[in-house]
Chains A and B, each alone.
Chain A
Amino acid sequence: MCALATPAASQSILAASVRDTTLQNGLQVIVVPNTSAPFVTVEAVFRSGAFVQQVQGYEGLPHLIEHLLFRSDGGSFSGDADKIAASWNGVTSTECVRYFMSFPSANTAKGIDIMSRLVRKPDFSKESIEAEKKVVAGEMQRHASDPESLLLTEADLLLWGNVGLTVKSPGGNLLAINGATADKLKEMYNRFYVPNNAAIVIAGDVDSTVFTVVAKAFGSWKRGDDPLAKLSPSPVVPLSAVQKKIITAEVKDVTFLVRWQGPSVTKDAAATYAADVFSGLVNQRVSATQKRLVDTGILDDIYLSYETLRDVGPIDLYARTSPDRAVAAAEAIGDELALLVKPDYFGAEDLTLAKKWQEVSTLRGNERAASAADAIATLWGSADLAYYRTYDARMASQTADDVHSYVAKYIAGKPLAVVVRMPSDAWNQFGVSVQRALGAWGKP
């Protein structure tokens, strides 16, 4: 592996911090030693997120399985986790599902064993399924009650369309959750929860002997067929036209969410680094965007982000203001979209500052073992370990041309989706004017 390392990769702090091996059954084991506290985080990650809902009958299953696994091994998980003073949780996202536990490092072997039983000994009894359906329904009802979730759901619908929404929305829907059967859950579990579709990430106060512990706990797990082989690599339909929508909710402010379909790691990994640099350029407090829109008092804040995904990561521009400034904000954001894509949007010093901020943020995030584990597991789920290993070096090597290429390919002149959320009374007062301002937005 060292012989293949690029010069950039050899300078990576992240690369130097990670050790890994792959067991015979295909399970990748990734270890990040961090001795700052006698504490350890163990994560199991599977490439089984929302995107598997492209399979007929699988809608809602990734999320429900995540909940059900915490009832694994005869319901012993919670008690066993308590015994080793572990905090734990699970997250279903667009491309992966993660299970994680943090506990004192003296309990590392026990914790790894508990994790092994969690992901390998599921309970798909009728009683467990019905109980977790209710809990998942409770979670979805909370989402449905939250104006922030409402905004995101509407924006997802515009950006991905009905078909795309299924493979991008991890929660599923109530109808699908209620209709889930034990047979379908078992089928999906057996297909996707195989060691060759998983990684174990261990970060914290451990040494190389932990590889042996993981091999003992997970080595007997049988390899399965490649679950991704028969899936469509990209079920997302490209956005063909500008989509705009104004919604009302019980809120006090006005929020704009502008979105584009961004790069895929599998097709254009280089652009994903440039995407992160460009977000840093827009977000830094001295950027032209912040000066024009925030420092003039038009917006309270504006923030650009890109989510690194194997298949079409979203680029989001999120901005907030008060109802009385909504019309001016809609006009100003429209103008800003044209300025963002100009070659002179940023200079050499801006680029240096954005990269410096990124470097310090990465170091700060890596200070906490649990954050490092989260970052590795998430990037493994959508890319691979090599992506994480070289991330900081690749970020440091980004040039202005790289960033301009990314902007030209994914933002300039590209269709976008925008949702504006405002209070009902503000809609009555300013809605038509905001609508008119949005109508004047051209493709940037």
Chain B
Amino acid sequence: MIIPVIAVLAVLTQQRGDSLMQYDVGGVRVVQQQRPATSQMVAVELYLLGGSRQITADNAGIEPMYLATSGYGTTKYPGELARRALARTGGSISYDASDDWTTFEFHGLKADFDSTWSIFADRLMHATLDSAGLAVVRQRMLSAVARQATSPEALAFHLADSATVVGHPYANSPDGNARSLAAITPAQLRKYAEEQFVTSRMLLVVAGDIPRAQVEAAVQRTLATLPHGAYKWSLPEPIKVAKGGIIPVDRDVSTNYIVGMVGGPSRADPDYGAYERALGFLGGWVSYIVREQNALSYAAGVSVYERGASSGALYMSTTNPDSAIKLVNMILKELDEPDAMIPRGTMRKAQKSFDAQYVAESETAEGQATLLGRATLYDGDPGAAAKRAKTMSNVAFSDLKHSLRVYFKNIQYAYVGDTTRMPRKEMTKR
């Protein structure tokens, strides 16, 4: 059964004349969602696939460094012209390097699609890599890496995640490290672009009220002229945490931050739906018991790291870590029991929340483009989000419990705060 809110969205988009298309332009795979009469905005996301698997510890950060430096001039828009031409459209060009891919994207008015595309494509294909611009970008990226552990909560997440991905491709941060960022040369950037900016490594997603012919023409005269290469997209190996542990960081702060990471199945694994549901369910319980019932934390829950190789994180800030972790262990123990009962309506509630989130993200061109890109790459089909909702609705409580038993173990904790109060025993129970 298709869930009502998603069915309503389907009817609405049909009435509006939305259409989802997939096509190839000179080797570039394009997914396009036409959204007539919704808004004047258009979103374009170019996925450069591979993420952490495309780099080594020595050249980590090279892709975002290239894309950022391209903002300081291209063959067609030398120097400041690239930024000034973009400013005339009122739109924005940005990039985001993540573990699975880098997105190079723009958001702007549909009336300015062609002019923005021209700057966008030239930045990818013909960056001049001006040395002064590169120096500024390098310094900014080094600062960003140094800054990533400024907040104690971010530090806890960073430490726990880093420990779980040792030996996995995700260990190489696509944003780079202090050593790699300092060493990357202009020649390396040029070579990287020549070798890596190939059409087989690209997925282009366009959402907005733009005719297909206009997109095709834009791609044909630019990206389609790049070599095809031989890249083949696949999902990375799952993250397996063989042994749990604790990374304590003593810091003089007013509360304590605890993050516990666990591994998870591949996105392609049939178990993935149950895993995502299980973590969502567990997060709801942790929040209810730790925050609402016992007022031990302002923020307590469980989040899923939605990546090709998934992982999950238990998190909380608390001045009473011993009691809070004891409660989490009690919840997990209870869910381990064969006759554990689930409160009536809980599964349905989790499903509704998932559907609602999907529908909310469909509201904007930007949200729609991101949904389509992720569904295409993680699920193999841009229309998979709605299908996934159907799969998710079939997850039974027994599947969910099984998933928690299999994956919510060997927890890798990071603890930032008063380490004399760290409940080591409770934190190593699972």
Is there contact, CB below 8 Å, between A145 and B254?
yes
B14 at the interface (CB under 8 A from A): no
Query: Which one of B135-143, B166-174, B190-198, B259-267 is at the interface?
Result: B135-143
Is there contact, CB below 8 Å, between A360 and B108?
yes
Query: Which one of A45-53, A248-256, A397-405 is at the interface?
Result: A248-256
Query: Which one of A18-26, A134-142, A407-415 is at the interface?
Result: A134-142
Binary per-residue interface labels of chain B (22-58) against chain A in the complex, 1 for a CB within 8 Å, 0 otherwise: 0000000000000100111100000000000000000
Is there contact, CB below 8 Å, between A87 and B363?
no
Is there contact, CB below 8 Å, between B108 and A301?
no
Chain A residues near B9: list those with CB within 8 A: 37-38
Q: A139-B298, A253-B147, A285-B83 are in contact. Are A144 and B254 (CB under 8 A)?
A: yes
Q: A138-B255, A145-B254, A367-B39 are in contact. Are A35 and B12 (CB under 8 A)?
A: yes
Nearest Cβ on chain A to B251's Cβ, whole angstroms:
7
Is there contact, CB below 8 Å, between A85 and B140?
no
Nearest Cβ on chain A to B392's Cβ, whole angstroms:
14
Q: How far is the CA of A321 from the CA of B83 in the complex (A)?
A: 22
Is there contact, CB below 8 Å, between B352 and A286?
no
Binary per-residue interface labels of chain A (263-303) against chain B in the complex, 1 for a CB within 8 Å, 0 otherwise: 00000000000000000000011100001001111001100
Binary per-residue interface labels of chain B (353-396) against chain A in the complex, 1 for a CB within 8 Å, 0 otherwise: 10111011011111100000000000000000000000000000
B21 at the interface (CB under 8 A from A): no
Q: A78-B292, A250-B251 are in contact. Are A106 and B356 (CB under 8 A)?
A: no
Give B71's nearest chain A residue, CB to CB: A285
Is there contact, CB below 8 Å, between A36 and B318?
no
Chain A residues near B254: list those with CB within 8 A: 140-142, 144-145
Q: A142-B298, A145-B254 are in contact. Are A286 and B360 (CB under 8 A)?
A: no
Segment 328-376 of A: residues with Cβ below 8 Å from B: 353, 356-357, 359-361, 363-364, 366-370
Query: Which one of B85-93, B228-236, B301-309 is at the interface?
Result: B85-93
Give A252's nearest chain B residue, CB to CB: B146
B299 at the interface (CB under 8 A from A): yes
Q: A104-B359, A297-B136 are in contact. Are A38 and B8 (CB under 8 A)?
A: yes
A226 at the interface (CB under 8 A from B): no
Q: A36-B363, A322-B139 are in contact. Are A353 and B87 (CB under 8 A)?
A: yes
B98 at the interface (CB under 8 A from A): no
A436 at the interface (CB under 8 A from B): no
Is there contact, CB below 8 Å, between A286 and B317?
no
Classify chain B's interface size: 35 or more
Is there contact, CB below 8 Å, between A37 and B363?
yes
B242 at the interface (CB under 8 A from A): no
Q: How far is the CA of A212 from the CA of B272 in the complex (A)?
A: 44
Give the size of the chain A interface in residues (CB under 8 angstroms).
64
Give A358's nearest chain B residue, CB to CB: B90
B342 at the interface (CB under 8 A from A): no
Binary per-residue interface labels of chain B (244-266) against chain A in the complex, 1 for a CB within 8 Å, 0 otherwise: 00000001111101000000000
Q: A37-B9, A103-B356, A322-B146 are in contact. Are A356 and B298 (CB under 8 A)?
A: no
Nearest Cβ on chain A to B87's Cβ, whole angstroms:
4
Chain B residues near A356: list those with CB within 8 A: 87-90
Q: A138-B318, A285-B83 are in contact. Are A82 and B139 (CB under 8 A)?
A: no
B96 at the interface (CB under 8 A from A): no
B401 at the interface (CB under 8 A from A): no
Is there contact, CB below 8 Å, between A301 and B140?
yes
B334 at the interface (CB under 8 A from A): no
Binary per-residue interface labels of chain A (69-99) against chain B in the complex, 1 for a CB within 8 Å, 0 otherwise: 0000000001000111111000000000000
Nearest Cβ on chain A to B35's Cβ, whole angstroms:
8
Q: How far is the CA of A244 from the CA of B257 in the complex (A)?
A: 32
Q: How far is the CA of A318 from the CA of B318 in the complex (A)?
A: 30
Is there contact, CB below 8 Å, between A135 and B40?
no
Is there contact, CB below 8 Å, between B359 and A38?
yes
Give A147's nearest chain B residue, CB to CB: B150
Give B109's nearest chain A residue, CB to CB: A360
Is there contact, CB below 8 Å, between B39 and A295?
no
Segment 309-326 of A: residues with Cβ below 8 Å from B: 320-322
A146 at the interface (CB under 8 A from B): yes
Segment 57-85 of B: residues with Cβ below 8 Å from A: 71-72, 80, 83-84
Among A103, A141, A142, the one with the most B-chain Cβ atoms within 10 Å of its Cβ is A142
- Among candidates B87, B151, B364, residue contacting A357 with C-beta atoms closer than 8 Å: B87
A207 at the interface (CB under 8 A from B): no
Chain A residues near B296: list those with CB within 8 A: 134, 138
Chain B residues near A102: list those with CB within 8 A: 356, 360
Is there contact, CB below 8 Å, between B298 and A37?
no
Q: A38-B9, A145-B253 are in contact. Are A300 and B359 (CB under 8 A)?
A: no
B152 at the interface (CB under 8 A from A): yes
- Among candidates A142, A321, A360, residue contacting B143 with C-beta atoms closer than 8 Å: A321
Segment 130-165 of B: residues with Cβ below 8 Å from A: 132-133, 135-136, 139-140, 142-144, 146-147, 149-153
Give A104's nearest chain B residue, CB to CB: B5
Nearest Cβ on chain B to A286's Cβ, whole angstroms:
5
Q: A85-B352, A368-B364, A369-B363 are in contact. Are A138 and B317 (CB under 8 A)?
A: yes
Is there contact, CB below 8 Å, between A87 and B39?
no
Nearest Cβ on chain B to A177's Cβ, whole angstroms:
12
Is there contact, CB below 8 Å, between A38 and B12?
yes
- Among candidates B91, B133, B317, B345, residue contacting A360 with C-beta atoms closer than 8 Å: B91
A3 at the interface (CB under 8 A from B): no
Nearest Cβ on chain B to A135's Cβ, whole angstroms:
5
Q: How far is the CA of A369 from the CA of B363 in the complex (A)?
A: 8
Is there contact, CB below 8 Å, between B353 and A295?
no
Nearest Cβ on chain A to B9's Cβ, whole angstroms:
6
Chain B residues near A35: list those with CB within 8 A: 12, 16
Q: How far is the CA of A105 from the CA of B8 in the complex (A)?
A: 10
Closest 9 CB pairs of A and B: A360-B90, A85-B352, A138-B298, A145-B253, A134-B295, A141-B255, A141-B254, A252-B146, A356-B90
Q: A38-B9, A102-B360, A359-B90 are in contact. List 17 more A-B contacts (CB 8 A).
A: A36-B362, A38-B8, A38-B359, A82-B353, A85-B5, A104-B4, A104-B355, A139-B298, A140-B254, A141-B254, A252-B146, A285-B83, A321-B143, A353-B87, A363-B40, A364-B366, A367-B366
Residues of chain B at the chain A interface (Cβ within 8 Å): 4-5, 8-9, 12, 16, 35, 38-41, 71-72, 80, 83-84, 86-91, 107-109, 132-133, 135-136, 139-140, 142-144, 146-147, 149-153, 251-255, 257, 291-292, 295-299, 317-319, 345, 349, 352-353, 355-357, 359-360, 362-367, 417
